[in-house]
């Protein structure tokens, strides 16, 4: 049966991208009864030293009024333009993600980052805040802080960014399901079709044969 084949979904995102948070609902709806492995992957929209955006300038309020708030209302998501100015760089938070993912808490960490920024107006560029958020999801705060201060996961984060470049990611969210690429917030129907298509392709590739290592 095709629903027994686990499909890997890669979601490239940035913690300061509201559309990435809005993609969570469609992802959950499309995959709720399917065997999938969802991996959130980092992408820095504005890496240091490029300046980040300021909510008091014209751009952010305009795009939120035109696109973010209408989509959030349709999806029933509580979200607000953060007042943190300028918006934080997300490298440190993403190094924290690598710490969390190594301990099986990558998805919980990602969700906590989105809510902290877009619902609680917290500055994700501050180590004290990141440590507190990590502790909230059950991570060892002292070990988390030491890892970020020492740059333990810096190279692992840079490797993840190189993966994004290899996939030619230019905007987020970018979702990869098998050979299907979806840019922007997907509809559940669109995403589910991509997953089922990927499952069918895996079945066709397997060819109905038994393998020595994998059995039948």
Tens-digit pLDDT profile for residues 61-104: 999 999 999 999 999 999 999 999 999 999 999 999 999 999 99
Contact 124, 93 (CB under 8 A): yes
Alpha-carbon gap, residue 91 to 104, rounded angstroms: 20
Architecture of the CATH domain 2-206: 3-Layer(aba) Sandwich (3.40)
Residue 99, SS3 per DSSP: helix
- Please report, for the chain, the start and end positions of each structural domain, with discontinuous segments joined by +: 2-206
Alpha-carbon torsion, ordered 171, 55, 95, 144, to 10 deg: -150
Q: Is the pTM of this model over 0.85?
A: yes
CB 45 within 8 A of CB 16: yes
pLDDT tens for 97-136 read: 999 999 999 999 999 999 999 999 999 999 999 999 999 9
Task: Estimate to the nearest angstrom the gap between the alpha carbon of 201 and the chain centroid.
Answer: 25
Q: Yes or no: say if 143 and 105 are a contact pair by the CB < 8 Å rule.
A: no
């Amino acid at each position: 049966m095709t629903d027994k084949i686990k499909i890997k979904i890669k979601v490239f995102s940035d913690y300061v991208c509201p559309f990435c948070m809005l993609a969570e609902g469609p992802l959950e709806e499309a995959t709720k009864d399917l065997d999938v492995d969802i991996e959130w992957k980092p992408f820095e929209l504005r890496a240091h030293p490029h300046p980040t955006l300021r909510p008091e300038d014209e751009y952010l309020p305009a795009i939120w009024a035109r696109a973010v708030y209408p989509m959030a209302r349709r999806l029933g998501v509580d979200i607000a333009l953060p007042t943190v100015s300028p918006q934080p760089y997300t490298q440190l938070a993403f190094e924290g993600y690598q710490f969390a993912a190594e301990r099986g808490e990558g998805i919980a960490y990602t969700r906590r980052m989105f809510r902290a920024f877009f619902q609680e107006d917290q500055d994700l560029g501050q180590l004290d805040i990141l440590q507190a958020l990590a502790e909230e999801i059950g991570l060892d705060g002292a070990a988390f802080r030491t890892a970020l201060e020492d740059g333990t996961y810096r190279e692992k984060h840079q490797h993840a960014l190189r993966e994004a470049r290899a996939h030619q990611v230019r905007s987020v969210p970018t979702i990869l399901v098998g050979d299907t690429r979806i840019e922007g917030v997907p509809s559940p129907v669109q995403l589910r079709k991509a997953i089922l298509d990927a499952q069918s392709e895996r079945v066709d590739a397997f060819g109905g044969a038994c393998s020595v290592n994998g059995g039948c």
